[in-house]
Structure 1
Amino acid sequence: MVVLNKIYTKTGDAGETALGNGARVAKHSMRVTAYGTVDEANATIGLARLHATSEMDSQLAAIQNDLFDLGADLCRPDMEKDAESEYPPLRVSDAQVERLEAEIDVMNEALEPLRSFILPGGSALAANLHLCRTVSRRAERLSVELATMEAINPAAVKYLNRLSDWCFVASRIANNGGLDDVLWVPGANR
């Protein structure tokens, strides 16, 4: 259980922060940038939830929880020491990725195939889901970059990749099952 009884600690005033294993690193380190962007993606999901109802809201709530898991995963380096740890760190699992895939498949069954690229917009929910999609893609790119420097959980990258796909398909559902998608018209304003 987490207990937060004092919000400011002043330990980061010199530009460093603590990772999940206690190591201190610069706040601009690639690892902090990656999990900070995952946190940003989570905040955009919160905005989308303001417009979601019923099943999609429940799915978005599960995604928010997953993103906290993912942030905790990225916050904890030294994957090779996981087995030795008295308290194994939280890692994103392939089952979480597979759940997103199953939800994408169900949503996609209700949609007509795309014949054009879609512009972000339409309903408020769809527009917010497009924002979630792009921030998730940025978190994925940063996590992939981190993986070139340090070992990270491959399921974390897979999750972020599927999440952006999930948000895209969900945005189409939010646009009246794709009927109200805003289509790109190449060269329309030449």
Structure 2
Amino acid sequence: MVVLNKIYTKTGDDGETALGNGARVAKHSMRVTAYGTTDELNSVVGLARLHAEGVTDTRLSLIQNDLFDLGADLCRPDMEKDADAEYPPLRIVSSQVDRLEAEIDEMNSGLKPLRSFILPGGSALSAYLHQCRTVARRAERLTVELATMESVNPAAVKYLNRLSDWFFVAARVANDNGTADVLWVPGANR
């Protein structure tokens, strides 16, 4: 259980922060950058939810919770020590990836195939979902980079990969099932 009764602790004033296992690292470390970007993504999802309703809002709520799970996963290195931990660390699991895939398939089933790349925009919700997509891709790139240096849960990388696809398809749905997508016209302004 999390208890936050004091918001500032002054323990980060020297440029370091604590990971989930208690280890102190520089605030600019790749691990902190990766999970910090998932936190940024969660904020953008919150903005998208201002324009979402019904099933889309419900699904975005689940994604926000998943992103906290992902942050908890990424802030806890040493996966090989999970079994020995006093409290088992929270890790992204394959069922979370599977849920995204099922939702992508369901949303995509009502869309016509793309014959052009699309530009971010159309409705406000679609524009925010495209912003979510690009921040998710950045979080994925940073997490993949982290995985070249330290242990990272492979399901976390898969989750981020599917999540950006989820945002892309959801953005098309938000644009009147793709009929209001803004199409790219190559070389239109030459």
Residue of structure 2 equivalent to 1:130: 130
1:27-86 C-alpha deviation (Å, 9 max, x unpaired): 000000000000011111000000000100000000000000000000000000001112
How far apart, in 1, do the equivalents of 2:79 and 2:173 lie?
38
How far apart, in 2, do the equivalents of 1:54 and 1:108 lie?
17
* RMSD of Structure 2 on Structure 1 (CA): 0.3
How far apart, in 1, do the equivalents of 2:9 and 2:162 lie?
36
> Runs of 4 or more off by more than 2 Å in structure 1?
none
Residue of structure 2 equivalent to 1:143: 143
SS of the residue aligned with 1:25? strand
How far apart, in 2, do the equivalents of 1:41 and 1:128 lie?
11
Equivalences for residues 34-183 of structure 1 within 5 A: 34-183=34-183
Residue of structure 2 equivalent to 1:29: 29
Residue of structure 1 equivalent to 2:15: 15
- Name stretches of at least 5 consecutive residues in structure 2 with no aligned partner: none
1:165-189 C-alpha deviation (Å, 9 max, x unpaired): 0000000000000000000000000
How far apart, in 2, do the equivalents of 1:83 and 1:159 lie?
22
1:114-168 C-alpha deviation (Å, 9 max, x unpaired): 0000000000000000000000000000000000000110000000000000000
Letter in 1 for 2:184: W
How far apart, in 2, do the equivalents of 1:165 and 1:84 lie?
35
How far apart, in 2, do the equivalents of 1:50 and 1:161 lie?
24
How far apart, in 1, do the equivalents of 2:80 and 2:169 lie?
36
User: TM-score under structure 1 normalisation?
Assistant: 1.00
How far apart, in 2, do the equivalents of 1:112 and 1:59 lie?
22
Letter in 1 for 2:23: A
How far apart, in 1, do the equivalents of 2:39 and 2:116 lie?
31
SS of the residue aligned with 2:158? helix
SS of the residue aligned with 1:91? coil
How many residue pairs end up in the alignment? 190
How far apart, in 2, do the equivalents of 1:85 and 1:5 lie?
25
1:8-38 C-alpha deviation (Å, 9 max, x unpaired): 0000001000000000000000000000000
User: TM-score under structure 2 normalisation?
Assistant: 1.00
SS of the residue aligned with 1:3? coil
How far apart, in 1, do the equivalents of 2:56 and 2:76 lie?
30
Q: Report sequence identity in percent.
A: 79
